[in-house]
């Protein structure tokens, strides 16, 4: 019969297992809090409680997967983004804190009650759904070339009661003939030469097509620069996430292709170039 453990004992054992495996020990706490919907304070309040044996067995299975390198968000099948829980699968990237900063920037600088918004390469739908949830009057369309990703995003939109119009296809192809006040994208932007410095779990588990891009990771910015004028309404804005060392190159791409626009590169909380804004 399995030995009963308190939540604190289970947490400590889990942290030790992950440390020995060379993984981030904080994932053990994340597994517990996310499973129960607890804050850290609530976890502490339950430290002395005995974990049911069945739960202990599931927790151990989760720890084994994380110890083997699988991201905890994929193990649980969900990730937190902008205060909401999103379904994530191997067809979608795990939403990052840096992308939350992109959403916050859009909300901070964009006014208007009935704007048309397009999210290109929506993945789990995190950006599009967060914008719709925060600005219910906005009409939000989201596209992705991956039908599997769009299916995940549609599930998230339904669960979170955020009516977004999802379409499938490459870049602007699914919205040909339409125009928008705001276009946003977190496109693939990693140069394949950077594989050696990438986290192993990202390389093994996250969708390759959502990570890597040609032309040293810049091809999607070049494609956007060539077509934005067609798809943005007068006075419209384009926002995108960029790689931490791509600020100057991305700025040059848009300033060269669209000299009448104002291009702004913004850093993230860690001081890295992370976002670009193109104002028409």
Question: Where do the domains of the chain lie, and which CATH numbers do they carry?
Answer: 5-76 (1.10.8), 92-279 (3.40.50.150)
* pLDDT on residue 197: 63
Phi, psi of 115 (to 5 degrees): -80, 155
* pLDDT on residue 198: 59
> Which residue bears the tokens 């599930």?
155
The 3-state DSSP composition of the chain as helix, strand, coil percent (nearest 5) reads: 45, 20, 30
* Six-digit token string for 182: 């705001």
Write the CA distances from 207 to 8, 145, 184, integer angstroms: 35, 12, 20
pLDDT tens for the chain, 280 residues: list them.
Answer: 457 899 999 999 999 999 999 999 999 999 999 999 999 999 999 999 999 999 999 999 999 999 999 999 999 999 999 999 999 999 999 999 999 999 999 999 999 889 999 999 999 999 999 999 999 999 999 999 999 999 999 999 999 999 999 999 999 999 999 999 999 999 998 877 766 665 787 768 667 777 777 788 999 999 999 999 999 999 999 999 999 999 999 999 999 999 999 999 999 999 999 999 999 9
Using an 8 Å Cβ cutoff, are 82 and 103 in contact?
A: yes
Using an 8 Å Cβ cutoff, are 123 and 89 in contact?
A: no
d(CA 181, CA 177): 14
d(CA 68, CA 62): 10
d(CA 76, CA 87): 9
Nearest to 273, CA basis, from 253, 251, 243, 252: 243
* pLDDT on residue 129: 98
* pLDDT on residue 276: 98
């Amino acid at each position: 019969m399995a030995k009963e453990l308190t939540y604190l004992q289970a947490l400590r054992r889990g942290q030790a297992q992950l440390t020995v495996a060379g993984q981030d020990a904080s994932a053990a706490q994340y597994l517990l809090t996310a499973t129960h919907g607890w804050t850290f304070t609530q976890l502490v309040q339950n430290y002395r409680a005995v974990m049911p044996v069945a739960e202990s067995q599931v927790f151990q299975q989760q720890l084994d997967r994380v110890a083997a390198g699988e991201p905890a968000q994929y193990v649980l099948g969900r990730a937190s983004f902008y205060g909401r829980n999103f379904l994530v699968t191997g067809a979608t990237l795990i939403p990052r804190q840096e992308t939350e900063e992109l959403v916050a920037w859009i909300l901070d600088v964009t006014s208007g009650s009935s704007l048309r918004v397009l999210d290109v390469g929506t993945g789990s739908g995190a950006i599009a759904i967060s914008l719709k949830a925060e600005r219910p009057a906005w009409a939000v369309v989201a596209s992705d070339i991956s039908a599997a990703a769009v299916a995940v995003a549609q599930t998230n939109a339904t669960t979170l009661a955020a009516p977004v119009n999802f379409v499938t296809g490459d870049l602007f192809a699914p919205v040909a003939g339409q125009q928008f006040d705001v276009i946003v994208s977190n496109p693939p932007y990693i140069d394949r030469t950077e594989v050696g410095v990438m986290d192993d779990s990202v390389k093994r588990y996250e969708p390759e097509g959502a990570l890597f891009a040609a032309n040293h990771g810049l091809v999607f910015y070049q494609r956007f620069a060539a077509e934005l004028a067609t798809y943005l309404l007068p006075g419209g804005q384009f926002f995108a996430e960029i790689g931490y060392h791509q600020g100057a190159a991305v700025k040059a791409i848009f300033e060269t292709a669209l000299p009448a626009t104002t291009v702004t590169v913004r850093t993230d909380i860690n001081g890295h170039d992370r976002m670009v804004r193109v104002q028409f």
